[in-house]
Amino acid sequence: MLKSSRWIREQAEQHRLLEPFVASSVRAGVVSYGLGPFGYDLRLDRTYRRPVHAAAPLDPHRVCESDFESLSADAILIPPGEFILGRSLEYFRMPRMVLGLVFGKSTYARCGVLVNVTPLEPEWTGYLTISIANCGARSAVVHAGQGIAQVVFVESSEEPLLSYKDLNGKYNGQEEITVARIQEG
């Protein structure tokens, strides 16, 4: 079942679902963020990572920390056809029977900016690593401290056989922007 703003607020205030939590929708002069009717608009942190060595392919089997430079800014410029890895300002603690689905903000989509985040799995914790791609022909700007994506929470009617925590997920508990990694066998 899709969870409402009442459930999100209760989980944030009583069980630390996400921190920091903004209990209303902030809209004036910014890309909106905070609590909505059936979701939460999360914000972009000011730290981000940009790929370097443009001639070398990014292969998830061989990505290294040195393939990205770490930067920090309030207004982040993304050249045409390029992407960055960002981080949510909010830290998430997903309940065992809840999945979070993340969607990019329409304001950025209308500027050719696409946001991709995989689902927030049951019992996953951490800051989200967010892929932000500029698909347009012009440079695009995204703004730290403002909305970047919306997460909606869906609760299952039964407990999963295994949660992300049970599987020792490789991105669990991430504190910083995490580049792609393949779990060793």
Give domain status of residue 50, yes or no: yes
User: Cβ(71)–Cβ(87) under 8 Å?
Assistant: no
- Ordered DSSP codes for 95-147: -TTEEEEEEE-HHHHTTTEEEE---B-TT-EEEEEEEEEE-SSS-EEEETTSE
Give domain status of residue 103, yes or no: yes
Res 185: pLDDT: 62
Give domain status of residue 172, yes or no: no
pLDDT band, residue 71 (cuts 50/70/90): very high
Share of the chain above pLDDT 70, in %: 99
pLDDT value at 67 more than 80: yes
Give domain status of residue 175, yes or no: no
Q: What is the pLDDT of residues 84-94, one digit of tens each?
A: 999 999 999 99
Domain hosting residue 142, numbered range:
5-54+64-155
Query: What is the total count of domains within the chain?
Result: 1
Rounded to whole angstroms, the Cα distance separating 10 from 161 reads 26
Give domain status of residue 70, yes or no: yes
Say which CATH number the domain at 72 has: 2.70.40.10
pLDDT band, residue 163 (cuts 50/70/90): very high
Share of the chain above pLDDT 90, in %: 93
Quote the pTM value. 0.94
Q: What is the pLDDT of residues 74-112, one digit of tens each?
A: 999 999 999 999 999 999 999 999 999 999 999 999 999
Give domain status of residue 181, yes or no: no
User: Cβ(31)–Cβ(76) under 8 Å?
Assistant: no
